[in-house]
Amino acid sequence: MNDILIQKRLPIGIQNLREIREGNFYYVDKTGFALRLIDEGKYYFLSRPRRFGKSLFLDTLGEIFAGNEPLFRGLLIHDRWDWSRHFPVIRLSFGGGVMRGEGELEQKIRELLTVNQEALDLKCQQSSITGCFEELIRKAHAASGERVVVLVDEYDKPILDNLTDPQTAKVMRDGLRNLYSVIKDADAHIRFAFLTGVSKFSKVSLFSGLNNLRDITLTPAYSAICGYTEADVDGVFATELSGLDRELIRVWYNGYNWTGGAVYNPFDLLLLFQERQYRPFWFETATPTFLVEVLKERQTWLPDLGRIETSADLLSTFEVGNIPTEALLFQTGYLTIDTEEEISGTYYYRLRYPNREVYQSLNGALLRAWTMDTQAEIQNRKSLYRLLLTNDFAGMEALFSAFFASIPSDWYRNNPIARYEGYYASVFYAYFAALGLDITLEDSSNQGRLDMAVRFNGHLYLFEFKVVELVSAGEALEQIKERGYADKYRAGGLPIHLIGVEFSRDRRSVVGFEVEHIKHEHMTSGHEDPSPP
Protein backbone atom coordinates (compact mmCIF):
# COMPACT_ATOMS: atom_id res chain seq x y z
CA MET A 1 0.00 0.00 0.00
CA ASN A 2 1.19 3.52 -0.78
CA ASP A 3 2.56 4.99 2.44
CA ILE A 4 0.58 8.18 1.91
CA LEU A 5 -2.68 6.26 2.35
CA ILE A 6 -1.75 4.66 5.66
CA GLN A 7 -3.61 6.21 8.56
CA LYS A 8 -1.24 7.73 11.08
CA ARG A 9 -1.47 9.58 14.36
CA LEU A 10 -2.46 13.25 14.46
CA PRO A 11 0.38 15.47 15.79
CA ILE A 12 -1.87 17.79 17.77
CA GLY A 13 0.22 20.23 19.79
CA ILE A 14 3.49 18.44 19.00
CA GLN A 15 6.30 20.85 18.10
CA ASN A 16 9.14 18.33 18.16
CA LEU A 17 10.24 16.82 14.84
CA ARG A 18 11.86 13.77 16.42
CA GLU A 19 8.66 12.76 18.20
CA ILE A 20 6.65 13.19 15.01
CA ARG A 21 9.05 11.22 12.81
CA GLU A 22 9.65 8.42 15.30
CA GLY A 23 6.07 8.21 16.57
CA ASN A 24 4.17 7.41 13.35
CA PHE A 25 2.56 10.85 13.15
CA TYR A 26 1.54 12.65 9.98
CA TYR A 27 4.20 15.09 8.82
CA VAL A 28 3.92 17.72 6.10
CA ASP A 29 7.38 18.02 4.59
CA LYS A 30 8.66 21.59 4.99
CA THR A 31 12.33 20.72 4.47
CA GLY A 32 12.31 22.21 0.97
CA PHE A 33 11.73 25.62 2.53
CA ALA A 34 14.51 25.00 5.03
CA LEU A 35 16.96 24.05 2.30
CA ARG A 36 16.12 27.14 0.27
CA LEU A 37 16.57 29.42 3.27
CA ILE A 38 19.96 27.94 4.08
CA ASP A 39 21.11 28.23 0.47
CA GLU A 40 19.89 31.81 0.01
CA GLY A 41 21.06 33.61 3.13
CA LYS A 42 22.04 33.77 6.75
CA TYR A 43 19.75 35.94 8.89
CA TYR A 44 15.95 35.59 8.74
CA PHE A 45 12.80 36.78 10.43
CA LEU A 46 9.30 35.30 10.07
CA SER A 47 6.02 36.53 11.51
CA ARG A 48 3.04 34.17 11.68
CA PRO A 49 0.00 33.89 14.00
CA ARG A 50 0.04 31.59 17.00
CA ARG A 51 -0.36 27.85 16.48
CA PHE A 52 0.70 27.94 12.84
CA GLY A 53 3.69 25.61 13.05
CA LYS A 54 6.51 28.12 13.62
CA SER A 55 7.97 26.15 16.52
CA LEU A 56 7.96 22.88 14.58
CA PHE A 57 9.68 24.52 11.63
CA LEU A 58 12.31 25.99 13.93
CA ASP A 59 12.88 22.57 15.48
CA THR A 60 13.22 21.11 11.98
CA LEU A 61 15.97 23.63 11.21
CA GLY A 62 17.71 22.68 14.45
CA GLU A 63 17.66 18.96 13.62
CA ILE A 64 18.97 19.61 10.11
CA PHE A 65 21.97 21.59 11.33
CA ALA A 66 22.60 19.10 14.14
CA GLY A 67 22.97 16.44 11.43
CA ASN A 68 20.27 14.05 12.67
CA GLU A 69 20.02 12.23 9.35
CA PRO A 70 17.61 9.41 10.34
CA LEU A 71 14.82 11.91 10.97
CA PHE A 72 14.91 13.06 7.35
CA ARG A 73 14.85 9.80 5.46
CA GLY A 74 12.23 10.00 2.73
CA LEU A 75 12.02 13.80 2.95
CA LEU A 76 13.01 16.24 0.24
CA ILE A 77 16.17 17.47 1.94
CA HIS A 78 17.65 14.03 2.68
CA ASP A 79 19.71 13.57 -0.47
CA ARG A 80 20.62 17.25 -0.75
CA TRP A 81 22.32 17.79 2.61
CA ASP A 82 25.75 16.89 3.96
CA TRP A 83 24.87 14.93 7.10
CA SER A 84 28.51 14.52 8.10
CA ARG A 85 28.64 18.13 9.28
CA HIS A 86 27.26 18.93 12.74
CA PHE A 87 26.70 22.56 13.60
CA PRO A 88 26.28 23.75 17.21
CA VAL A 89 22.71 24.97 17.71
CA ILE A 90 21.61 27.54 20.29
CA ARG A 91 17.86 27.60 20.89
CA LEU A 92 16.00 30.37 22.70
CA SER A 93 12.24 30.06 23.17
CA PHE A 94 10.04 32.51 25.03
CA GLY A 95 6.86 30.55 24.39
CA GLY A 96 6.48 29.12 27.89
CA GLY A 97 5.07 31.10 30.80
CA VAL A 98 4.30 34.77 31.24
CA MET A 99 6.93 37.30 32.33
CA ARG A 100 5.62 40.40 34.09
CA GLY A 101 8.75 42.42 34.73
CA GLU A 102 12.43 42.99 34.05
CA GLY A 103 13.48 40.55 36.77
CA GLU A 104 11.37 37.72 35.41
CA LEU A 105 12.66 38.33 31.87
CA GLU A 106 16.28 38.29 33.07
CA GLN A 107 15.66 35.07 34.98
CA LYS A 108 14.09 33.45 31.91
CA ILE A 109 17.03 34.41 29.68
CA ARG A 110 19.55 33.10 32.18
CA GLU A 111 17.64 29.81 32.37
CA LEU A 112 17.69 29.51 28.57
CA LEU A 113 21.42 30.23 28.43
CA THR A 114 22.05 27.61 31.14
CA VAL A 115 20.09 24.99 29.17
CA ASN A 116 22.17 25.74 26.07
CA GLN A 117 25.44 25.58 27.98
CA GLU A 118 24.50 22.12 29.22
CA ALA A 119 23.45 20.97 25.75
CA LEU A 120 26.74 22.15 24.23
CA ASP A 121 28.85 21.04 27.22
CA LEU A 122 30.24 24.54 27.68
CA LYS A 123 30.45 26.96 30.57
CA CYS A 124 30.16 30.75 30.49
CA GLN A 125 32.54 32.85 32.57
CA GLN A 126 30.88 36.19 31.86
CA SER A 127 28.27 37.25 34.41
CA SER A 128 26.12 39.55 32.27
CA ILE A 129 23.43 38.16 29.98
CA THR A 130 24.92 39.65 26.82
CA GLY A 131 28.41 38.63 27.85
CA CYS A 132 27.36 35.03 28.47
CA PHE A 133 25.41 34.84 25.20
CA GLU A 134 28.33 36.18 23.15
CA GLU A 135 30.78 33.90 24.98
CA LEU A 136 28.56 30.87 24.37
CA ILE A 137 28.45 31.59 20.63
CA ARG A 138 32.21 32.12 20.43
CA LYS A 139 33.11 29.03 22.46
CA ALA A 140 30.65 26.82 20.56
CA HIS A 141 32.33 27.85 17.31
CA ALA A 142 35.79 27.17 18.69
CA ALA A 143 34.87 23.81 20.22
CA SER A 144 33.12 22.39 17.15
CA GLY A 145 35.00 24.04 14.33
CA GLU A 146 31.65 24.98 12.81
CA ARG A 147 29.93 28.32 13.07
CA VAL A 148 26.84 28.51 15.27
CA VAL A 149 23.14 28.33 14.43
CA VAL A 150 20.88 30.59 16.52
CA LEU A 151 17.14 29.86 16.60
CA VAL A 152 14.79 32.18 18.50
CA ASP A 153 11.14 31.17 18.92
CA GLU A 154 8.37 33.54 20.09
CA TYR A 155 10.94 36.33 20.18
CA ASP A 156 8.23 38.90 21.00
CA LYS A 157 6.04 37.07 23.53
CA PRO A 158 7.40 38.87 26.63
CA ILE A 159 6.33 42.14 24.99
CA LEU A 160 2.94 40.93 23.78
CA ASP A 161 2.08 39.53 27.20
CA ASN A 162 2.40 43.03 28.62
CA LEU A 163 0.76 45.22 25.98
CA THR A 164 -1.95 46.27 28.43
CA ASP A 165 0.85 47.76 30.56
CA PRO A 166 2.87 49.87 28.08
CA GLN A 167 5.58 50.76 30.58
CA THR A 168 6.34 47.11 31.36
CA ALA A 169 6.10 46.24 27.66
CA LYS A 170 8.78 48.83 26.88
CA VAL A 171 11.02 47.39 29.60
CA MET A 172 10.65 43.93 28.07
CA ARG A 173 11.35 45.32 24.61
CA ASP A 174 14.54 46.99 25.78
CA GLY A 175 15.69 43.82 27.55
CA LEU A 176 15.16 41.73 24.44
CA ARG A 177 16.86 44.33 22.24
CA ASN A 178 19.91 44.04 24.48
CA LEU A 179 19.90 40.25 24.01
CA TYR A 180 19.36 40.26 20.24
CA SER A 181 22.12 42.83 19.68
CA VAL A 182 24.59 40.03 20.42
CA ILE A 183 23.60 38.26 17.19
CA LYS A 184 24.86 41.18 15.10
CA ASP A 185 28.09 41.54 17.07
CA ALA A 186 28.82 37.79 16.83
CA ASP A 187 28.48 37.69 13.04
CA ALA A 188 31.87 36.07 12.48
CA HIS A 189 30.84 33.07 14.58
CA ILE A 190 27.31 32.58 13.18
CA ARG A 191 26.36 30.30 10.29
CA PHE A 192 22.60 30.87 10.36
CA ALA A 193 20.01 32.71 12.49
CA PHE A 194 16.23 32.50 12.36
CA LEU A 195 13.79 34.45 14.56
CA THR A 196 10.05 33.87 14.65
CA GLY A 197 7.15 35.52 16.40
CA VAL A 198 3.61 36.80 16.03
CA SER A 199 4.31 40.49 15.66
CA LYS A 200 6.75 42.44 13.56
CA PHE A 201 8.44 45.12 15.62
CA SER A 202 10.68 47.46 13.68
CA LYS A 203 14.36 46.73 13.38
CA VAL A 204 15.14 50.09 14.96
CA SER A 205 13.10 49.43 18.10
CA LEU A 206 14.01 45.81 18.74
CA PHE A 207 16.91 44.53 16.68
CA SER A 208 19.30 47.42 17.28
CA GLY A 209 21.21 47.50 14.04
CA LEU A 210 20.59 43.95 12.90
CA ASN A 211 19.66 45.50 9.57
CA ASN A 212 20.71 42.49 7.53
CA LEU A 213 17.86 40.46 8.99
CA ARG A 214 15.78 39.35 6.00
CA ASP A 215 12.05 39.51 6.68
CA ILE A 216 10.32 36.72 4.72
CA THR A 217 6.87 37.29 6.23
CA LEU A 218 5.41 38.52 2.91
CA THR A 219 7.79 36.78 0.51
CA PRO A 220 5.60 34.81 -1.96
CA ALA A 221 8.06 31.91 -2.13
CA TYR A 222 7.65 31.37 1.63
CA SER A 223 3.91 31.99 1.95
CA ALA A 224 3.34 28.29 2.73
CA ILE A 225 6.35 27.86 5.03
CA CYS A 226 3.80 27.39 7.84
CA GLY A 227 0.32 25.96 7.41
CA TYR A 228 -1.06 23.30 5.06
CA THR A 229 -1.73 23.71 1.34
CA GLU A 230 -4.58 22.15 -0.62
CA ALA A 231 -2.11 19.55 -1.88
CA ASP A 232 -1.07 18.72 1.69
CA VAL A 233 -4.67 18.16 2.74
CA ASP A 234 -5.51 15.97 -0.25
CA GLY A 235 -2.22 14.09 -0.12
CA VAL A 236 -0.80 13.75 3.38
CA PHE A 237 -4.21 13.68 5.09
CA ALA A 238 -6.16 11.80 2.41
CA THR A 239 -7.23 9.03 4.78
CA GLU A 240 -8.71 11.56 7.23
CA LEU A 241 -11.11 13.12 4.72
CA SER A 242 -13.66 10.32 4.63
CA GLY A 243 -17.03 11.48 5.90
CA LEU A 244 -16.08 15.18 5.82
CA ASP A 245 -17.35 17.76 3.35
CA ARG A 246 -14.25 18.83 1.43
CA GLU A 247 -15.70 22.20 0.42
CA LEU A 248 -16.84 22.93 3.97
CA ILE A 249 -13.30 22.22 5.22
CA ARG A 250 -12.06 24.81 2.76
CA VAL A 251 -14.68 27.39 3.74
CA TRP A 252 -14.06 26.97 7.46
CA TYR A 253 -10.27 26.78 7.65
CA ASN A 254 -8.50 27.73 4.41
CA GLY A 255 -7.74 31.22 3.17
CA TYR A 256 -4.64 32.55 4.97
CA ASN A 257 -2.42 34.36 2.52
CA TRP A 258 0.98 36.01 2.75
CA THR A 259 1.03 37.00 -0.98
CA GLY A 260 1.34 33.40 -2.16
CA GLY A 261 -1.10 30.50 -2.33
CA ALA A 262 -3.69 30.20 0.42
CA VAL A 263 -2.98 27.85 3.33
CA TYR A 264 -4.97 26.18 6.08
CA ASN A 265 -4.50 26.69 9.79
CA PRO A 266 -2.82 23.40 10.82
CA PHE A 267 -4.16 23.46 14.38
CA ASP A 268 -7.73 23.65 13.09
CA LEU A 269 -7.34 20.83 10.59
CA LEU A 270 -5.77 18.42 13.05
CA LEU A 271 -8.56 18.99 15.57
CA LEU A 272 -11.18 18.71 12.82
CA PHE A 273 -9.79 15.30 11.85
CA GLN A 274 -9.87 14.25 15.49
CA GLU A 275 -13.26 15.65 16.52
CA ARG A 276 -15.04 15.40 13.14
CA GLN A 277 -16.86 18.66 13.85
CA TYR A 278 -16.56 22.11 12.26
CA ARG A 279 -15.71 24.35 15.19
CA PRO A 280 -13.52 27.42 15.81
CA PHE A 281 -10.72 25.41 17.42
CA TRP A 282 -7.95 27.95 16.80
CA PHE A 283 -10.04 30.95 17.76
CA GLU A 284 -11.09 29.38 21.04
CA THR A 285 -7.49 28.81 22.12
CA ALA A 286 -5.57 31.66 20.50
CA THR A 287 -7.70 34.79 20.74
CA PRO A 288 -6.08 37.30 23.12
CA THR A 289 -8.35 39.29 25.41
CA PHE A 290 -6.18 42.27 24.54
CA LEU A 291 -7.33 42.18 20.91
CA VAL A 292 -11.03 42.23 21.78
CA GLU A 293 -10.50 45.02 24.31
CA VAL A 294 -8.60 47.17 21.82
CA LEU A 295 -11.31 46.80 19.18
CA LYS A 296 -13.96 47.53 21.77
CA GLU A 297 -12.20 50.63 23.05
CA ARG A 298 -11.68 51.92 19.53
CA GLN A 299 -15.37 51.28 18.80
CA THR A 300 -14.31 49.54 15.61
CA TRP A 301 -17.07 49.24 13.03
CA LEU A 302 -17.23 45.60 12.13
CA PRO A 303 -18.45 45.97 8.55
CA ASP A 304 -15.17 47.70 7.72
CA LEU A 305 -12.90 44.98 9.11
CA GLY A 306 -13.27 42.59 6.21
CA ARG A 307 -12.44 45.18 3.58
CA ILE A 308 -9.67 47.33 5.04
CA GLU A 309 -7.13 48.87 2.64
CA THR A 310 -3.67 49.65 3.94
CA SER A 311 -0.06 50.16 2.93
CA ALA A 312 2.92 47.89 3.55
CA ASP A 313 4.42 50.45 5.95
CA LEU A 314 1.29 50.71 8.07
CA LEU A 315 0.81 46.95 8.04
CA SER A 316 4.29 46.58 9.52
CA THR A 317 3.82 49.24 12.19
CA PHE A 318 3.78 47.44 15.51
CA GLU A 319 5.16 49.45 18.39
CA VAL A 320 4.24 49.62 22.07
CA GLY A 321 1.61 52.35 22.35
CA ASN A 322 1.24 52.64 18.57
CA ILE A 323 -0.48 49.64 17.04
CA PRO A 324 -2.80 50.43 14.12
CA THR A 325 -5.94 48.30 14.06
CA GLU A 326 -5.11 46.77 10.67
CA ALA A 327 -1.58 45.81 11.76
CA LEU A 328 -2.87 44.23 14.96
CA LEU A 329 -5.52 42.18 13.16
CA PHE A 330 -3.21 41.11 10.34
CA GLN A 331 -0.25 40.08 12.45
CA THR A 332 -2.40 38.14 14.90
CA GLY A 333 -4.13 36.26 12.06
CA TYR A 334 -7.64 37.71 12.14
CA LEU A 335 -7.26 39.39 8.78
CA THR A 336 -5.20 38.25 5.82
CA ILE A 337 -4.16 39.66 2.46
CA ASP A 338 -6.77 39.65 -0.28
CA THR A 339 -5.00 41.64 -2.99
CA GLU A 340 -1.64 43.36 -3.40
CA GLU A 341 -1.00 46.42 -5.53
CA GLU A 342 2.24 48.27 -6.26
CA ILE A 343 1.95 51.97 -7.07
CA SER A 344 5.07 54.02 -7.68
CA GLY A 345 7.23 51.84 -5.46
CA THR A 346 4.75 51.55 -2.59
CA TYR A 347 2.83 48.34 -1.89
CA TYR A 348 -0.82 48.49 -0.89
CA TYR A 349 -2.98 45.68 0.42
CA ARG A 350 -6.66 44.98 0.68
CA LEU A 351 -7.37 42.80 3.70
CA ARG A 352 -10.15 40.29 4.32
CA TYR A 353 -11.23 37.66 6.80
CA PRO A 354 -9.33 34.45 6.01
CA ASN A 355 -12.27 32.08 6.48
CA ARG A 356 -15.58 31.39 8.16
CA GLU A 357 -14.01 30.46 11.49
CA VAL A 358 -12.43 33.88 11.98
CA TYR A 359 -15.25 35.86 10.35
CA GLN A 360 -17.93 34.28 12.50
CA SER A 361 -15.98 33.95 15.74
CA LEU A 362 -14.42 37.41 15.84
CA ASN A 363 -17.78 39.07 15.23
CA GLY A 364 -19.30 36.89 17.94
CA ALA A 365 -16.56 37.77 20.42
CA LEU A 366 -16.97 41.48 19.81
CA LEU A 367 -20.74 41.22 20.02
CA ARG A 368 -20.39 39.60 23.43
CA ALA A 369 -17.99 42.33 24.54
CA TRP A 370 -20.39 45.05 23.42
CA THR A 371 -23.55 43.57 24.90
CA MET A 372 -24.48 44.36 28.48
CA ASP A 373 -26.38 41.10 28.93
CA THR A 374 -24.40 38.14 27.58
CA GLN A 375 -27.24 35.67 27.99
CA ALA A 376 -29.59 37.96 26.09
CA GLU A 377 -27.05 38.24 23.27
CA ILE A 378 -26.80 34.44 23.00
CA GLN A 379 -30.58 34.06 22.93
CA ASN A 380 -30.94 36.87 20.39
CA ARG A 381 -28.45 35.21 18.07
CA LYS A 382 -30.17 31.83 18.27
CA SER A 383 -33.56 33.47 17.75
CA LEU A 384 -32.33 35.28 14.63
CA TYR A 385 -31.25 32.01 13.06
CA ARG A 386 -34.57 30.31 13.78
CA LEU A 387 -36.61 33.28 12.57
CA LEU A 388 -34.69 33.35 9.30
CA LEU A 389 -35.26 29.63 8.82
CA THR A 390 -39.03 30.13 9.06
CA ASN A 391 -39.16 33.64 7.54
CA ASP A 392 -40.98 34.89 10.62
CA PHE A 393 -40.82 38.62 9.93
CA ALA A 394 -43.10 39.62 12.79
CA GLY A 395 -40.75 37.84 15.18
CA MET A 396 -37.80 39.47 13.43
CA GLU A 397 -39.24 42.94 14.04
CA ALA A 398 -39.47 42.26 17.78
CA LEU A 399 -35.96 40.80 17.78
CA PHE A 400 -34.52 43.84 16.01
CA SER A 401 -35.92 46.00 18.78
CA ALA A 402 -34.06 43.78 21.24
CA PHE A 403 -30.86 44.25 19.22
CA PHE A 404 -31.30 47.99 19.37
CA ALA A 405 -31.91 47.96 23.11
CA SER A 406 -28.67 46.01 23.67
CA ILE A 407 -26.48 48.87 22.43
CA PRO A 408 -24.73 50.40 25.47
CA SER A 409 -25.92 53.95 26.17
CA ASP A 410 -22.32 55.21 26.26
CA TRP A 411 -22.08 54.50 22.57
CA TYR A 412 -24.78 57.05 21.86
CA ARG A 413 -23.13 59.74 23.96
CA ASN A 414 -19.55 59.14 22.88
CA ASN A 415 -19.95 58.40 19.20
CA PRO A 416 -20.37 61.33 16.80
CA ILE A 417 -21.60 59.05 14.01
CA ALA A 418 -24.44 57.59 16.09
CA ARG A 419 -26.96 59.70 14.19
CA TYR A 420 -26.19 57.95 10.90
CA GLU A 421 -27.78 54.79 9.52
CA GLY A 422 -24.44 53.05 9.07
CA TYR A 423 -23.88 53.05 12.82
CA TYR A 424 -27.01 51.02 13.48
CA ALA A 425 -26.49 48.85 10.44
CA SER A 426 -23.11 47.83 11.89
CA VAL A 427 -24.71 46.61 15.12
CA PHE A 428 -27.20 44.50 13.19
CA TYR A 429 -24.43 43.27 10.94
CA ALA A 430 -22.62 41.89 13.99
CA TYR A 431 -25.54 39.60 14.79
CA PHE A 432 -25.77 38.24 11.25
CA ALA A 433 -21.99 37.87 10.93
CA ALA A 434 -21.78 36.04 14.27
CA LEU A 435 -23.95 33.34 12.65
CA GLY A 436 -21.47 33.05 9.78
CA LEU A 437 -24.04 34.16 7.20
CA ASP A 438 -23.20 35.33 3.69
CA ILE A 439 -23.44 39.12 3.86
CA THR A 440 -22.79 41.83 1.29
CA LEU A 441 -22.55 45.38 2.63
CA GLU A 442 -23.24 48.62 0.79
CA ASP A 443 -23.83 46.80 -2.46
CA SER A 444 -23.69 49.34 -5.26
CA SER A 445 -26.19 49.86 -8.06
CA ASN A 446 -26.62 52.71 -10.53
CA GLN A 447 -29.12 54.25 -8.11
CA GLY A 448 -27.10 54.07 -4.89
CA ARG A 449 -25.96 51.60 -2.26
CA LEU A 450 -28.03 49.04 -0.41
CA ASP A 451 -27.10 48.80 3.27
CA MET A 452 -27.01 45.01 3.60
CA ALA A 453 -27.85 41.92 1.56
CA VAL A 454 -28.03 38.52 3.28
CA ARG A 455 -28.20 35.13 1.52
CA PHE A 456 -29.48 32.30 3.65
CA ASN A 457 -31.32 29.02 3.14
CA GLY A 458 -32.17 29.74 -0.50
CA HIS A 459 -33.54 33.21 0.22
CA LEU A 460 -32.21 36.71 -0.29
CA TYR A 461 -32.89 39.48 2.25
CA LEU A 462 -32.27 43.11 1.27
CA PHE A 463 -32.06 45.53 4.22
CA GLU A 464 -32.14 49.30 4.27
CA PHE A 465 -31.74 51.17 7.57
CA LYS A 466 -32.98 54.68 8.34
CA VAL A 467 -32.75 56.96 11.36
CA VAL A 468 -35.99 58.92 11.87
CA GLU A 469 -37.40 61.15 14.57
CA LEU A 470 -40.16 59.55 16.63
CA VAL A 471 -42.37 57.75 14.13
CA SER A 472 -41.88 55.75 10.97
CA ALA A 473 -42.04 57.56 7.66
CA GLY A 474 -41.80 54.43 5.55
CA GLU A 475 -38.72 55.80 3.83
CA ALA A 476 -36.47 52.76 4.18
CA LEU A 477 -38.63 50.35 2.20
CA GLU A 478 -39.51 53.00 -0.36
CA GLN A 479 -35.83 53.64 -1.00
CA ILE A 480 -35.23 49.95 -1.74
CA LYS A 481 -38.09 49.97 -4.27
CA GLU A 482 -37.53 53.38 -5.84
CA ARG A 483 -33.83 52.79 -6.41
CA GLY A 484 -34.36 49.30 -7.76
CA TYR A 485 -31.93 47.63 -5.35
CA ALA A 486 -33.50 44.25 -6.06
CA ASP A 487 -33.08 44.43 -9.84
CA LYS A 488 -29.53 43.10 -9.94
CA TYR A 489 -30.57 40.06 -7.89
CA ARG A 490 -33.66 39.00 -9.83
CA ALA A 491 -31.78 36.81 -12.28
CA GLY A 492 -30.59 34.63 -9.40
CA GLY A 493 -34.01 32.99 -9.14
CA LEU A 494 -34.19 33.24 -5.35
CA PRO A 495 -37.19 34.61 -3.46
CA ILE A 496 -36.28 38.15 -2.40
CA HIS A 497 -37.44 39.93 0.74
CA LEU A 498 -37.25 43.72 0.87
CA ILE A 499 -36.95 44.91 4.49
CA GLY A 500 -36.98 48.55 5.56
CA VAL A 501 -35.97 49.19 9.17
CA GLU A 502 -36.35 52.58 10.82
CA PHE A 503 -34.86 53.58 14.18
CA SER A 504 -35.69 56.36 16.58
CA ARG A 505 -32.73 57.69 18.55
CA ASP A 506 -34.99 59.31 21.09
CA ARG A 507 -37.07 56.22 21.75
CA ARG A 508 -34.10 53.88 21.32
CA SER A 509 -36.31 51.44 19.49
CA VAL A 510 -37.36 50.24 16.07
CA VAL A 511 -40.31 52.38 15.00
CA GLY A 512 -40.68 51.08 11.47
CA PHE A 513 -40.32 47.58 10.05
CA GLU A 514 -41.84 46.98 6.62
CA VAL A 515 -41.46 43.94 4.40
CA GLU A 516 -42.33 43.17 0.79
CA HIS A 517 -41.63 39.92 -1.05
CA ILE A 518 -40.58 39.27 -4.61
CA LYS A 519 -41.30 35.73 -5.78
CA HIS A 520 -40.23 34.01 -8.97
CA GLU A 521 -42.08 31.47 -11.01
CA HIS A 522 -39.15 29.06 -11.01
CA MET A 523 -37.81 29.37 -7.52
CA THR A 524 -35.03 26.96 -6.69
CA SER A 525 -34.85 25.35 -3.28
CA GLY A 526 -31.51 26.45 -1.88
CA HIS A 527 -29.29 25.57 0.99
CA GLU A 528 -27.45 27.78 3.37
CA ASP A 529 -24.31 29.23 1.86
CA PRO A 530 -21.90 29.31 4.76
CA SER A 531 -19.21 31.29 2.98
CA PRO A 532 -18.29 34.66 4.47
CA PRO A 533 -18.02 37.60 2.07
Count Cβ atoms within 10 A of the Cβ of residue 337 and give its class: 0-12 exposed, 13-18 middle, 19 or more buried: buried
State how far the alpha carbon of 382 is from the alpha carbons of 229, 366, 488, in Å.
34, 16, 30
Q: Is the confidence at residue 319, as pLDDT, over 90?
A: no
What is the model's pLDDT at position 85? 97
User: pLDDT tens digits, residue range 180-194?
Assistant: 999 989 999 999 999
Higher pLDDT among residues 496 and 446, named by residue: 496
Supply φ then ψ for residue 512, to 5 degrees: -145, 130
pLDDT tens-place string over residues 404-427: 777 666 655 555 444 445 566 677
| Pairing verdict, β 346-352 and 336-343 | antiparallel
**Range with the largest mean pLDDT of 195-209, 255-269, 431-445:** 255-269
pLDDT for residue 255 is more than 90: yes
- What is residue 156's predicted lDDT score, i.e. its pLDDT? 92
pLDDT score for 352: 94
pLDDT in tens, 219-248: 999 999 999 999 999 999 999 999 999 999
Is it the case that residue 204 has pLDDT exceeding 70? no
> What is the pLDDT at residue 532?
41
Give the pLDDT score at 1. Answer: 39
pLDDT exceeds cutoff 60 at 303: yes
Q: Which pLDDT band holds residue 503 (cuts at 50, 70, 90)?
A: confident
pTM of the prediction? 0.89
Residue 368: predicted pLDDT: 81
Q: Which residues of 125-157 are buried (b: 16+ CB within 10 A; e: fewer)?
A: eeeebeebbbbbbebbbeeeebbbbbbbbbbbb
Give the domains, in start order, of the chain with CATH numbers. Answer: 1-8+227-286 (no CATH), 29-222 (3.40.50), 287-366 (no CATH), 371-518 (3.40.1350.10)
pLDDT for position 371: 74
Evaluate whether 387 touches 395 at the Cβ level (below 8 Å).
yes
Confidence of residue 139 (pLDDT cuts 50, 70, 90): very high
Low-confidence winner among 142-146, 150-154, 443-447 (lowest mean pLDDT): 443-447
pLDDT at residue number 520: 62
Short-list 178, 13, 189, 20, CA closest to 90? 189
The predicted structure's pLDDT at residue 528: 43
